[in-house]
Each structure stands twice: as structure tokens, then as C-alpha cells.
């Protein structure tokens, strides 16, 4: 069967159900222990065969230059495969920027998956993850998706059973956070919070949402510098969240709900204060090619 001339890819955002800093690696990077969850908030990418490499992000202020993760992914794919070709990429961004939700990593994963299909390269998931790791620490998870225990700098992934059924309400504050600056503040300040990632992994395996929430936490939240986090968490908790916390290095904050009506009420309450509020579910996959037809995405509540 000939390779297609156009492919559409959905690439999910992620949330950190837990994030701990457990040490420093020999290369100077922070040694992390995390449970990551893909959610039904997606970047949508359309890739077309072309003689040139072009990337467009309509409506987004993210620069499209050599530092852009989508550009890096396309160049890495061509270098690895040796293909003398180009690609035209249009990315409809839905994931907030500087949010700790791996939107840039989702873009890179979507490009790798899409180009693999577009040019019939038949790269394995292991090959795609190795390419992804050269672009960014969260790209391998963006490729794998689902629920994973993630360690090291994000390069050690252990797939877990699906997350217990729940709803996520995510709010993006008015100001984002720089990941390098967040870790610099952690080095200066430390953190009183160190979540039980092993306990949370077991809760996922047991299908125990209450235990999963009890083990949640983020060691970077204390030192994030995000002034709006307490207010967002207060609204989520007041509307019935089982737990609430910052994701990644911030600045997005989310709550976990076992009741859809409470989740919708929390989203409505947050909408009165914040422009970017999302209601989502766990996503069992990572970046994947889909038919070129409209697809439901998470609601910008």
C-alpha cells in the first residue's frame, strides 16, 4: 500500500500525578521520579509531503525557528532515516505554553509519528523514543502516552495499567513558568513535599483512585514561584476535587474528580477567573495517526 500524502496526528498533553526530585545525576541533571498521565487535551497536527520543511502554528505565539521542537523532530527524522525530502506541518495548538503539560513535547512526538506514517519509514517505538529523547526529556512519554512511572530525566519509562476512571479540571494561570528557572529555585530552596510515587504506582495497579490521590504531590510546587497556585487549588478543592496540585514545573494546576458534575462545576467556577480552563479525561494512548476527520478534543471549559 502506498504511503499517504497527508496525515493527521493527535498528540495528548500530560499531567504529573506525582513528581519528586530524588537526587542529582552524574551529568548534573535532576534525578526525577514521577507518575505521568496523558489526557484528552490534544495538539492536532496535519503533515503533508513537500519539497521543503515548513512549520506553521496558526494563532500561536510560539516561535517557529531552529529551537522549536517540531522543527527539531523533523530534522532528527530526516537525519536518522537519510530521506531526502521535506514536509509541510500545520499544528493547531490547544495545550497551554509554559504550563508543565508538555505541549512542545507533544508537538515533537506528533511530528515523529506523522512522518513515520507519511514516508512509510516503519521505525519502531524504541527508535522513535530514542529520537524523541534527543529532542526533549518528555518526548518519549508523549510518544508512549497512557499512564507511566517515569524516572531519571524522563528517559526511563514503565508503562502502567490505565488510570482509574476520573475527570481532570486544569486551569492555566495568567503567567507561565520557565522549567530551568523552576529547577534553579528548587536547588536554592528545596521542598517540604516528596510524594509517594511507588505508592501511587501501586494505586494505579489496584485501580484505587482514592489511594492514587492520597499519594499525589509535586516537589516543585513549593518553589515554583507561581503566585496563583493556591487560589486555583482552593477553587478546585471547594468544588469537590479529591486532590489538586501543580503539574510538572508549572504553571498549570489541576484537580482530580470522581464525579463529572463536580468537575463541570469546578470548571465553571474557574472560568470566572481564568481564560484557559479545560475539562479532560485520561487518555490511554500517545501521539497517533487518525483519520482525516474532525475529532472531539477536551473542552476549553
- The pair phi, psi for residue 82, each rounded to 5°, is 75, 10
Look at the alpha carbons of 70, 72, 75, 81 in this order and tell me if their dihedral is positive or negative. Answer: negative
Tell me the chain's radius of gyration from C-alpha atoms: 19
Q: Which of 14, 72, 93, 283 is catalytic?
A: 14
Cell 485520561 -> residue? 282
Cell 468544588 -> residue? 239
What is the spatial distance between Cα 145 and Cα 140, in angstroms, rounded to a whole number? 8
Q: Which of 20, 138, 155, 283 is catalytic?
A: 138
Distance of CA 186 to CAs 15, 24, 25, 56, 251, Å? 20, 12, 15, 35, 15
Neighbour count for residue 255 (Cβ, 10 Å): 28
- The pair phi, psi for residue 157, each rounded to 5°, is -115, 130
Please give the grid coordinates belonging to residue 231.
487560589
> Are the beta carbons of 77 and 280 closer than 8 angstroms?
no
Residue 14 annotated among the catalytic residues of the structure: yes
Residue 138 annotated among the catalytic residues of the structure: yes
> Are the beta carbons of 216 and 245 closer than 8 angstroms?
yes
Query: Active-site residue numbers?
Result: 14, 138
Amino acid at each position: 500500500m502506498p504511503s499517504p500524502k497527508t496525515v493527521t496526528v493527535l498528540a495528548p498533553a500530560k499531567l504529573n500525578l506525582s513528581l519528586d526530585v530524588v537526587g542529582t545525576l552524574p551529568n548534573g541533571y535532576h534525578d526525577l521520579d514521577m507518575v505521568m498521565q496523558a489526557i484528552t487535551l490534544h495538539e492536532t497536527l496535519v503533515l503533508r509531503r513537500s519539497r521543503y520543511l515548513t512549520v506553521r502554528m496558526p494563532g500561536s505565539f510560539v516561535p517557529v525557528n531552529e529551537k522549536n521542537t517540531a522543527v527539531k523532530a523533523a530534522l532528527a527524522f530526516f537525519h536518522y532515516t537519510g530521506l531526502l525530502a521535506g514536509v509541510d506541518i500545520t499544528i493547531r495548538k490547544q495545550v497551554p505554553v509554559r504550563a508543565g503539560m508538555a505541549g512542545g513535547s507533544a508537538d515533537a512526538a506528533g511530528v515523529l509519528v506523522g512522518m513515520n506514517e507519511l514516508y512509510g519509514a516503519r521505525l519502531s517505538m524504541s527508535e522513535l523514543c530514542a529520537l524523541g529523547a534527543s529532542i526533549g526529556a518528555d518526548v518519549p512519554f508523549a510518544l508512549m502516552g497512557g499512564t507511566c512511572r517515569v524516572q531519571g530525566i524522563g528517559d526511563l519509562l514503565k508503562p502502567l495499567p490505565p488510570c482509574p476512571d476520573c475527570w481532570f479540571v486544569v486551569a492555566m494561570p495568567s503567567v507561565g513558568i520557565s522549567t530551568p528557572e523552576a529547577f534553579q529555585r528548587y536547588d536554592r530552596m528545596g521542598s517540604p513535599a516528596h510524594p509517594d510515587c511507588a505508592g501511587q504506582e501501586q494505586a494505579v495497579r489496584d485501580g484505587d483512585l482514592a489511594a492514587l490521590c492520597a499519594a499525589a504531590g509535586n516537589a516543585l510546587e513549593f518553589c515554583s514561584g507561581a503566585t496563583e497556585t493556591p487560589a486555583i487549588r482552593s477553587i478546585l478543592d471547594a468544588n469537590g476535587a479529591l486532590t489538586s496540585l501543580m503539574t510538572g514545573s508549572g504553571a498549570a494546576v489541576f484537580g482530580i474528580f470522581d464525579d463529572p458534575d463536580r468537575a463541570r462545576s469546578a470548571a465553571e467556577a474557574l472560568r470566572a477567573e481564568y481564560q484557559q480552563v479545560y475539562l479532560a479525561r485520561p487518555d490511554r494512548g500517545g501521539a497517533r495517526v487518525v483519520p482525516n476527520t474532525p475529532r472531539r478534543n477536551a473542552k476549553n471549559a
